[in-house]
Each structure stands twice: as structure tokens, then as C-alpha cells.
Structure 1
Amino acid sequence: MSFFGNWMGGQRRSARAAKERLQLVLIHDRADLSPGKLEALKDDLIAVLSRHVEIDRRLVQVTLTSDRDQQRLVADIPLAPARVRRRESLT
């Protein structure tokens, strides 16, 4: 591929990344949920769920997505391995 071909490919990747960042900003704006509020919500979810099940706090992810006219709050909350939960419940 020529120099110009490589350069144009880089521009397309940059344009795609910029578009994704703009979409993320719009989703946060439409949901009226700043990144700080989203992080506070994540902390609250972890606190509530930790009272009932053992979770792997390091891997919790909370994101906003948008499908046409609908925004979604998506929480991916992995549970701790069963043997860890069992061992802790015995003590």
C-alpha cells in the first residue's frame, strides 16, 4: 500500500474513533448522567450487591449504550468463584 493509502486508512480509523467518542458524549448527555454520576452509580451497585453475593469488584463494568431512541444502562458484574464464596461463608 502506498504512503497515501496508509495515510487515508489512518484518517478513517481516527474518524471512526472520533465518531464513537461523540456518540458516547451524546448518550451521556441525553441520559443526563455524567461520568462522575455513572461512577457513583457503579459504586452503589457494588455496595448493594455485595451484601447479597460475593462479586469481583475489579471487573465490574457499567456502561451506557444507545439503540435508536432508547438508552440502556448495562452492568456487567462478575461473581467471585464459587469456592471463594463457599470458603468465606464457612468462616
Structure 2
Amino acid sequence: MLLDLSKIFGKSKNSKDLAKERLKLVLIHDRANVSPQFLEMVKGEIIKVISNYMDVDEESLDIQMTRTKSEDGNSVVPALVANIPIRSVKNSGK
């Protein structure tokens, strides 16, 4: 079962957008050899940690698992790419 954060936070998606999101998760699974459920868990944890320090726009949040060349350039490795719009930084106590 996929965790649809938009349902939790009130943004409803039409069936086209939902199908598109599911297809992206399937492609990510194929490319990075991780399950869509795993990626959703990672997204949830990232949101939880970052939300301690910043107010983020969760509706525009985009986190993807992709593949990139390794540092030595001899192999391809998984990479986590995140686009997390920040609305504001919370008081850091400084």
C-alpha cells in the first residue's frame, strides 16, 4: 500500500496525476532496485526530520531515486534526488 501524502495533507489528485505518480514509483523501483513502499518510507522520514527545522511545502515536494555515475566513473550507483521547497526556517534558538 502506497502512502499518498496529498490525501493526508488535503490536496486531492485526479486519476491522471495519481497514475503518473504510480508509474514514476514503478520506474524508480526498476532503476534503483528499491520498492515503492521503501521510497515512500524514506520520503516520510525526510519530511519528519526537515519539518523539525523548516516549514516545507509538502504538496510541491519531489523526492526521486535515480542512478548516477560513481565518483570513479567506472560504475553506476543509486542516487536520492530531492527538491524540497522551503516556506520558512523555524527559530533555531540562535
TM-score (norm 2): 0.53
Partner in structure 1 of residue 55 of structure 2: 54
Q: Which residue, 27, 32, 41 being the options, matches 1:28?
A: 32
Distance in structure 1 (CA, Å) of the matches to 2:44 and 2:27 = 24
Unaligned runs of 5+ in 1: 1-20
SS, match of residue 73 in structure 1: strand
* Cα pair 2:65 2:80 within 8 Å, conserved: yes
User: Number of aligned pairs?
Assistant: 61
The percent of aligned pairs where both chains have the same amino acid is 25
TM-score (norm 1): 0.55
Unaligned runs of 5+ in 2: 1-23, 70-75
The one-letter code matched in structure 1 to 2:64 is T
Give the structure with higher Rg (CA). Answer: 1
Change (3 A) 1:70 1:78: same
Shift of residue 39 of structure 1? 0.7
Shift of residue 73 of structure 1? 0.6
Q: Point out 4+ residue stretches in structure 1 off by more than 4 angstroms.
A: none
How well do the aligned residues superpose, as a CA RMSD in angstroms?
2.5
Name the one with the larger helix percent. Answer: 1
Q: Which residue, 72, 75, 85 being the options, matches 2:82?
A: 75
The one-letter code matched in structure 1 to 2:31 is I
Return the structure number with greater relative CO, CA threshold 8 A, min gap 6: 2
Name the one with the larger strand percent. Answer: 2
